[in-house]
Amino acid sequence: MVDWWLQLIIPFLLSMFVVIGITVFAERFGTKLGGIFGTIPSTIVVALYFISITKGVSFGVEAAAVVPGEMAINLVFLGLIAFFIDRLRYKVVVFSLGIWGVLTFVFVSVYVVDLGVSLVLYVLAWFVVLVLLEHKKKGVAQGKKVVVYTVKMLLVRGIFAGLVIAFAVVMANFGAVLSGVFSIFPAIFLSTIIIFLKEHDSVFASGMAKSMLFGSMNVVGYVVGVFFLYPMFGVVWGSIGAFGISLCVMLCLYGLRNAIE
């Protein structure tokens, strides 16, 4: 059994470094790279690992099967932000979280634990949000930002994200479906968008949201790997193999992103 405090402190510290890295990377290299490379699986790796070693591989695999369907709801969250953020700013974040909560309640109530159904929901949401942003919003990726970094600035970014993600990990202990749902809670999306809204502008935040739409495939590639590799190779080697799959997806995504925009 893994101590409860390890299930909090490890995701908290990991997410601090991840969000600091994502935001700095996007500012230095632009949102196109930042959104794709910034969505490399991180907290979900920790969440599914701890879920599987504390409650069993079958429980972790069942939780992984939920993730693509819940990621579809996360894409709705991102799409709403990218579409309305220039007019509503922080209000759209609250509104999008409300929509996320309603859709998640419906998703949990229906109890979708089939990987195939979950993937279909994800693909449909991905294409709908992409078409909406490409043909209606017509947002474009943003270039680099010149930022003078301070220790305080980076710590505030990291602590904010760490608190959000630690809460999500705690909530991931209540049943396989809720474990899958909260292991993919849009904490990285949420914290990154709020940070960019506060420190830059709605255009930069919207560009990051659009790139994260593409980057979400990194996470889906990882959980599909977990679904098939955990039962075959165990939690440790299964995690390594799934992460390798995610890295391959990430490289393909960058080529796709360049082709589209």
pLDDT band at 25 (very low <50, low <70, confident <90, very high): low
Q: Of the spans 24-33, 224-233, 246-255, which averages the highest pLDDT?
A: 224-233
Cβ atoms within 10 Å, residue 89: 14
- Quote the CA–CA distance of 119 and 122 in Å, as a whole number: 5
Averaged over 136-147, what is the pLDDT?
Answer: 53
Alpha-helix residue ranges (DSSP H) falling in the chain? 4-29, 31-37, 43-55, 57-88, 90-110, 115-132, 151-171, 176-183, 187-199, 202-260
Which tens digits make up the pLDDT trace of 188-242?
677 677 777 776 666 666 667 777 777 788 889 999 999 999 999 999 999 999 9
Q: Of the spans 16-30, 41-55, 56-70, which averages the highest pLDDT?
A: 56-70
Sign of the torsion formed by the C-alpha atoms of 232, 237, 242 and 244: negative
Determine contact, residues 46/182, Cβ cutoff 8 Å: no
Q: Which residue has the higher pLDDT, 254 or 260?
A: 254
pLDDT band at 1 (very low <50, low <70, confident <90, very high): very low
Q: Given this model, what pLDDT does residue 229 score?
A: 95
Q: Given this model, what pLDDT does residue 224 score?
A: 94
Is 39's pLDDT higher than 80?
no
Averaged over 16-43, what is the pLDDT?
Answer: 67
Domain ranges of the chain: 4-260
Q: Which residue has the higher pLDDT, 122 or 33?
A: 122
Which tens digits make up the pLDDT trace of 92-105?
778 888 888 888 88
pLDDT band at 6 (very low <50, low <70, confident <90, very high): low
Which tens digits make up the pLDDT trace of 69-92?
888 988 898 888 777 776 666 777
